[in-house]
Amino acid sequence: MSNLDQVFVTLLHWVVGLVPASLQPWVSTLVIILAIMTVFGTCFALTTILERKILGRMQNRYGPNRVGPCGLFQPVADGIKMLTKEDIVPFSSDQVVHFLAPLVLTIPIWLAFAVIPFGRNMTAIDLNAGLLFFFAIGSASELAVFMAGWAGQNKYSLLGAMRAVAQMISYEVPLVLAAVPVVMLAGSLSLNDIVQAQSGYIAGGLPRWNVLTPWGLAAFIMFLIAATAESNRSPFDLPEGESEIIAGYLTEYSGFKYALFFLGEYMGLFAITSLAVTLFLGGWHAPLPVLEWLPSWFWFGLKFSALIFGFIWIRATLPRLRLDQMLSLAWKFLVPLALLNLLAAAVWHWSGQCRLFPGSMAVRWLVCAAILVFPGIRLGRSLNGLSATPRQYRYAK
Q: What is the DSSP letter of 207?
A: B
What 3-state DSSP class applies to 201? strand
Return the residues of window 263-292 that contact other proteins according to CB under 8 A: none
Q: Does residue 26 belong to the site contacting other proteins (CB under 8 A)?
A: yes
Return the residues of window 78-107 that contact other proteins according to CB under 8 A: 94, 97
Q: Is 13 exposed, middle or buried (0-12, 13-18, 19+ CB in 10 A)?
A: exposed
Applying CB under 8 A, the span of 8-16, 123-131, 290-298, 362-370 interacting with other proteins comes to 123-131
Least distance from C-beta 136 to other proteins, angstroms? 4
Q: Give whichever of 25 and 200 is closer to other proteins, judged by the CB atom.
A: 25
Distance CA(143)–CA(138), nearest Å, equals 10
Please pick, from the candidates 113, 146, 236, 311, the single residue that binds other proteins as defined by CB under 8 A. 146
Q: Does residue 260 belong to the site contacting other proteins (CB under 8 A)?
A: no
Dump the DSSP string for 258-281. HHHHHHHHHHHHHHHHHHHHHHHS
Return the residues of window 325-364 that contact other proteins according to CB under 8 A: none
Applying CB under 8 A, the span of 40-48, 142-150, 241-249, 268-276 interacting with other proteins comes to 142-150
Please pick, from the candidates 2, 38, 42, 128, the single residue that binds other proteins as defined by CB under 8 A. 128
Q: Which amino acid is it at 125?
A: I
Cβ pair 344, 371 in contact under 8 A: yes
Q: Is the dihedral of CA 331, 334, 268, 58 positive or negative?
A: negative
Q: Does residue 150 belong to the site contacting other proteins (CB under 8 A)?
A: yes
Q: Does residue 229 belong to the site contacting other proteins (CB under 8 A)?
A: no
Q: Bridge-partner residues for 123, per DSSP?
A: 117
What 3-state DSSP class applies to 19? coil
Cβ pair 274, 306 in contact under 8 A: no
Please pick, from the candidates 16, 43, 50, 137, the single residue that binds other proteins as defined by CB under 8 A. 137
Applying CB under 8 A, the span of 43-51, 79-87, 122-130, 311-319 interacting with other proteins comes to 122-130
Distance, CA of 173 to chain centre? 14
Q: Give whichever of 163 and 257 is closer to other proteins, judged by the CB atom.
A: 163
Q: Does residue 129 belong to the site contacting other proteins (CB under 8 A)?
A: yes
Q: Does residue 133 belong to the site contacting other proteins (CB under 8 A)?
A: yes
Least distance from C-beta 254 to other proteins, angstroms? 22
Total residues interacting with other proteins, rule: CB under 8 A = 28
Q: How far apart are the first and last CA of the chain?
A: 67
Q: Is 99 exposed, middle or buried (0-12, 13-18, 19+ CB in 10 A)?
A: middle
Cβ pair 219, 182 in contact under 8 A: yes
Contact residues for other proteins (CB under 8 A)?
25-26, 94, 97, 127-129, 132-133, 135-137, 139-140, 142-143, 146-147, 150, 155, 158-159, 162, 165, 169, 187-189
